[in-house]
Homo-oligomer: A and B are copies of this chain.
Amino acid sequence: LVRNDADRNLIDVLLDVGQRITAFYGERSRGDLKEPGELVTAVDTEADRLLVEAIRSLYPDHGVFSEESGGSAASTRRWIVDPLDGTTNLLFGVPHFGISLAREVDGVVVQGLVYNPMTEELFYADVESRGAYLNGQKIHVSQTAKREEALVALGFSATYRNIRRYYEEWPAAFDSTRKAVGLLAPALNLCNVAAGRIDAFIDFGSSVEGHAAAAFLVERAGGLVMNYDRSRWDHRSRGVVATNGALSDLHA
């Protein structure tokens, strides 16, 4: 799938950084970490630094944008980096977190990589690849067409305000699907839509770093992506809704 040395090297870095992140899994109680926030900061900062350094070295004519490092939004070619998607899960001892990398040219995503180091799953697509891939195997969205049979993930922490918002703005997704759960890892949840494991993912709070690569993967796997307000997809906006494309009545 991968066509050049820079991409191959980037994947090596991705796997290596993933390995380093797993060392923090379940480690909140380490004596040198006084509070949970410090754990997250330590992981985020370290992973971000390694990824940004690697990208600057491998793609010297690209910009880099990440939550940690910031970066020029004006670059015509840039990598969008999320060093730790699913931070809350890492904190809660749930092995559902990963790294997201999206390459953007003239405002359009042309390559996406998402890696879960705990399960060693690498999701990949680029504009030239036919479709999207999980560890080299082609993936495709599900074919579930009926809302009552749908598995839907929503991105939220359990504050009543967050939950009410979904209930009011996406009532059909929330209460009339087969099963809806709150899951906190936008990139991986979108990848699970791409892989046909779930039928939809809705998140009002996801950021460009978290969803850029994986939303691209959903599209390449045959799915439909839109903004949270149901308008035409722009990965630079906040929030995301991704479905298999067949769940036509989810938007009611």
Contact = CB atoms under 8 A, between A and B. Distances in A.
Number of contact residues on A: which range applies? 35 or more
A160 B174 contact: yes
A54 B211 CA distance: 45
Nearest to A22: B119
A94 B91 contact: no
Contacts of A136: none
Given A118-B95, A151-B36, A198-B92, A181 B184 contact: yes
Contact of A197 (B93, B179, B196): B93
A231 interface: no
A180 B196 contact: no
Nearest to A150: B36
Contacts of A92: 151, 153, 181, 183, 192, 197-198
Given A92-B183, A96-B96, A167 B160 contact: yes
A180 B195 contact: no
Interface in A189-229: 192, 195-198
